[in-house]
Amino acid sequence: MPGLSKLLGDRLLTHAGNAVVTSEALAGSSAVGLYFSASWCPPCRGFTPTLVESYQKSLFPKGFRCVLVSWDKDEQSFKDYHSKMPWLALPFEESEKKEELGKLLGVRGIPALALLDAQGRTITTEGTQAVSADPAGEHYPWRPPLVRDLAHGEPGQINELPSLICLCEAAPAEAHAGALESLTALATAAQESERSLGFFLGSGGGLSAKIRELCRLPAGGAPRLLLLDIPDNGGFYLGPEGPDALTPAAAEQMLLDYRGGKLTRQQLGPPSE
C-alpha cells in the first residue's frame, strides 16, 4: 500500500505501543479508517465504544482496518486512550502529519472517521455517521453516491468542493431522471481522473431554494446549470437555463468552460434590493 504509507509514514503503533511497518500492517485491507479522536472530547468518548464494537463484530472481518489520529494534548493521555482501542495509531510525535491529514480530509471537529482505499484515495469522510447508522456494516465501505439530490437534504462536500449543480425543481420527474443520468456519467468520468468536484441534482427541497436565493435566481424557476465554488470565497458560475440545462452536452460543456477559465465568476450573496 504505497499510497497509504506515503500518507501515514513508515510506522504505526499497536494499542500495546509496539511499532509495526505501515505497509505490512495494512496489507490486504479492504479500506482503512483514519479515526480523529481525543480522550478529552466527550462526543469522542461516546462514539469510541460504538466503533470498537462495530469494528470487532462486523468491520474487521470485512477487511476494515483503523488508525487512530490522536488530538490528545499529551502523550500519556494518548497512550491511555489508545490502549482501549483494538487498532493501530499514528505515533503521538507525528504532529505535522496529523495536521496534514486533518487538512487533506477537511476535518473540522472530532470525532471524525475518514475511509481511504488502498491507494490512499478518499472513499468517505462521513464514517462516524455511517457507523452510527449501520454498525453491522451492511453497506460498508459506505461509498457516497456519485450524484447527490439536494431534495434529500444531503449536502455532502458542497462546502469543500467546487460543485456542478442542476437545479430543476419545477421540471417533470422524467427530466429529473435524465439530468441525474447526465450528471452521473460526468461524475463517473471525473472520479477516474480526479476527486476535486462535487455533483448535485436539485430536484426540490430547502437546499435547492437556498442556492437559488444566494445566486439571485427566481424561486422555482426554469432549470439551471450552475457551478458553486464555496471554497473560492463563495463564488459561483451560471450555465444554461431552460431545457438545455438538462442535457448531457450542456453539463459537459460547462465543465470544460469552467476548467478552461471561460466562465464569469459571480459572488454569492443576498438578493438585490
Look up residue 120 and give its three cell numbers: 490512499
Closest-CA residue to 214 (of 160, 270, 257): 270
Cell of 200: 448535485
Percent of the chain exceeding pLDDT 70 equals 96
Confidence of residue 122 (pLDDT cuts 50, 70, 90): confident
pTM tops 0.75, yes or no: no
pLDDT value of position 273: 43
Q: Going by C-beta distance under 8 Å and a sequence separation of 6 or more, which residues neighbour residue 113?
A: 33, 34, 35, 36, 51, 127, 128, 130, 131
Residues 6 or more apart from 245 whose CB is under 8 A from it?
Answer: 166, 167, 168, 179, 222, 223, 224, 225, 239
Average pLDDT over residues 248-266: 93
At residue 34, the 3 state secondary structure works out as strand
| Average pLDDT of the segment spanning 238-246 | 92
pLDDT for 155 equals 77
Task: Give the pLDDT score at 197.
Answer: 85
pLDDT digits over 51-109, tens only? 999 999 999 999 999 999 999 999 999 999 999 999 999 999 988 899 999 988 889 89
Quote the distance between the C-alpha of residue 224 and its chain's center.
25
Taking the C-alpha atoms of residue 11 and residue 26, their distance in angstroms, rounded to an integer, is 11
Contact yes or no for 141/115 (Cβ under 8 A): yes
Burial class (CB in 10 A: 0-12, 13-18, 19+), 231: middle
DSSP for residue 65:
E
pLDDT value, residue 55: 98
Q: Which of 111-115, 117-121, 182-186, 220-224 holds the top average pLDDT?
A: 111-115
Flag whether pLDDT at 132 surpasses 70: yes
Boundaries of CATH 3.40.30.10 in the chain? Answer: 2-133, 148-267
196-239 confidence digits (pLDDT tens)? 788 999 999 889 999 999 999 998 889 999 999 998 999 999 99
Given a cut of 60, is residue 195 above it in pLDDT?
no
Please, are residues 40 and 22 in contact by the beta-carbon 8 Å criterion? Answer: no
Is the pLDDT higher at 3 or at 45?
45
Topology classification of domain 2-133: Glutaredoxin (3.40.30)
Choose between 4 and 2: higher pLDDT. Answer: 4
pLDDT at 1: 43
Q: Which class in CATH covers the domain with range 148-267?
A: alpha beta
- What per-residue confidence (pLDDT) applies to 272? 52
Distances in whole angstroms, Cα of residue 166 to Cα of each of 147, 162, 200, 207? 11, 13, 7, 12
Nine-digit cell at 229?
465554488
pLDDT in tens, 135-152: 999 999 998 888 989 988
